[in-house]
């Protein structure tokens, strides 16, 4: 039996995305998921507008924030039939030496939808069944959410969740998040859910106001403060709120050179700098600051699939809010939506929903 499906293909950098039919039948160990929603990520725009190279040759359907329902199963994946799921943005093979040693985020055989394999801007997506995150639809309904909305858990939430978890944020910590739109906004909420007092830094007052209502104890506009001013403001906040002036957790989520420089300038003794955002731009740093402050810097690529259920629990338990930061659009409007997101005319996370 064939599964008639369609996806929107990127054929060249900046060229209009084109709809194309395909057969969505899964192979052994795979499932076909009828897409409920797929989020538009900064990474997708990097591929489409900036020419960041995908591992899979063009034409390619982008999109790696996917939720939906399993409608067909290959041999060995039958247990997933009919289940509502979130597809992890990075799917490790689970069998190589790295995976066996728990280093799944650097698995050389990993599959990222919309990069290594065909992605989720489609009616259906075929993916390995290994690592799928089941969604409890009763809890989803109690949380007042639609399956399409939790598609953003696959990256916008789980990536900062992994960064916060990996950094070691504890109750009483002081966390600083730079760039609080998209991933950064969820980083604020996750760090707060882990018990940290959170300082949010951005250049957009509207974004700062939004996170002030969802977990940020202090907001700072970096357009109005230089590096010394930012650090002085955070030090003053730490003193006034009874937090340490050492061991800060700094999360760079802006994916900009300016944001990375701000993050570097905020290093203190024992600090942890987590790089979450991505930019092609280069910055000039004095690496010896890490030595002088006995600090550490961590890169963050995705989130292990086994951590997805705990991240999703934060949403379903109401500790992290996603509905105020998500808006849905028809998948057939993908070209218009990409343009609007690129022009910053859509400030929430756009989720594309098939008809």
What are 128-144's pLDDT values in tens digits?
A: 999 999 999 999 999 99
Q: What is the mean pLDDT of the chain?
A: 97
Dist CA 9 CA 334 (whole Å) = 11
User: What's the pLDDT band for 122 if we cut at 50, 70, 90?
Assistant: very high
206 in Cβ contact with 188 (< 8 Å):
no
Judge whether residue 343 has pLDDT over 80. Answer: yes
Q: What percent of the chain has pLDDT over 90?
A: 97
Residues 6+ apart with CB under 8 A from 95: 109
Mean pLDDT, residues 4-33 taken together: 97
291-304: b (≥16 Cβ within 10 Å) or e? eeeebebeebebbb
Mean pLDDT, residues 51-62 taken together: 96
Dist CA 238 CA 246 (whole Å) = 9
Please say whether the structural domain 158-299 has been given the CATH code 3.40.50.720: yes
**Alpha-carbon distance values, 46 to 90, 236, 286 (Å):** 17, 37, 28
Question: How does DSSP classify residue 302?
Answer: -
Question: Which residue has 């969604």 as its token pair?
Answer: 135
Among 24-28, 83-87, 225-229, 276-280, the range scoring the smallest mean pLDDT is 276-280
pLDDT of residue 323: 96
* Helix H or strand E encompassing 336: helix 334-342
- Taking the domains of the chain in order of start, what are their residue ranges? 4-155+303-353, 158-299
pTM across the whole model:
0.94
Domain 158-299 in the same topology as domain 4-155+303-353: no
Judge whether residue 1 has pLDDT over 70. Answer: no
pLDDT of residue 347: 86
Q: For 291-340, write each residue's pLDDT tens digit.
A: 999 999 999 999 999 999 999 999 999 999 999 999 999 999 999 999 99
Q: For 236-293, write each residue's pLDDT tens digit.
A: 999 999 999 999 999 999 999 999 999 999 999 999 999 999 888 999 999 999 999 9
pLDDT of residue 2: 81
- DSSP secondary structure of 25-59: ---TTEEEEEEEEEE--HHHHHHHHH-PPPSSPSS
Q: Which CATH class is domain 4-155+303-353?
A: alpha beta
Q: For 101-110, write each residue's pLDDT tens digit.
A: 999 999 999 9
């Amino acid at each position: 039996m064939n599964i008639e499906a369609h996806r929107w293909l990127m054929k060249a950098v900046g060229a209009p995305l084109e709809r194309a039919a395909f057969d969505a039948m899964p192979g052994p160990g795979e499932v076909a998921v009828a897409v409920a929603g797929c989020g538009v990520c900064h990474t997708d725009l990097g591929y489409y507008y900036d020419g960041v190279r995908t591992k899979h040759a063009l034409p390619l359907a982008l999109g790696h924030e996917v939720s939906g329902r399993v409608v067909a199963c290959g041999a060995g994946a039958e247990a997933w039939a009919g289940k509502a799921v979130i597809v992890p943005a990075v799917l490790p093979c689970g069998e190589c030496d790295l995976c066996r040693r728990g280093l799944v985020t650097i698995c050389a055989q990993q599959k990222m939808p919309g990069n290594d394999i065909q992605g989720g801007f489609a009616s259906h997506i075929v993916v390995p069944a290994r690592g799928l995150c089941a969604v409890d639809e009763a809890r989803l309904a109690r949380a007042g959410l639609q399956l399409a909305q939790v598609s953003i858990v696959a990256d916008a939430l789980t990536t900062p969740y992994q960064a916060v978890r990996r950094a070691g944020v504890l109750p009483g910590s002081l966390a600083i998040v730079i760039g609080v739109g998209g991933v950064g906004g969820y980083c604020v909420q996750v760090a707060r859910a882990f018990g940290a007092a959170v300082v949010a830094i951005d250049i957009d007052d509207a974004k700062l106001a939004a996170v002030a209502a969802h977990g940020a104890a202090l907001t700072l506009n970096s357009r109005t403060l230089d590096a010394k001013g930012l650090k002085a403001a955070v030090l003053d906040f730490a003193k006034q709120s009874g937090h340490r002036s050492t061991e800060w957790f700094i999360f760079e989520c802006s994916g900009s050179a300016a944001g990375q420089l701000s993050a570097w300038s905020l290093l203190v003794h024992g600090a942890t700098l987590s790089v979450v955002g991505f930019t092609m731009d280069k910055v000039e740093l004095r690496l010896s600051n890490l030595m002088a402050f006995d600090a550490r810097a961590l890169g963050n690529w995705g989130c292990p699939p086994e951590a997805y259920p705990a991240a999703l629990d934060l949403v379903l338990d109401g500790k992290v809010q996603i509905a105020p930061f998500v808006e849905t659009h028809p998948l057939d409007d993908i070209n218009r939506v990409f343009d609007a997101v690129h022009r910053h005319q859509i400030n929430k996370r756009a989720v594309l929903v098939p008809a």
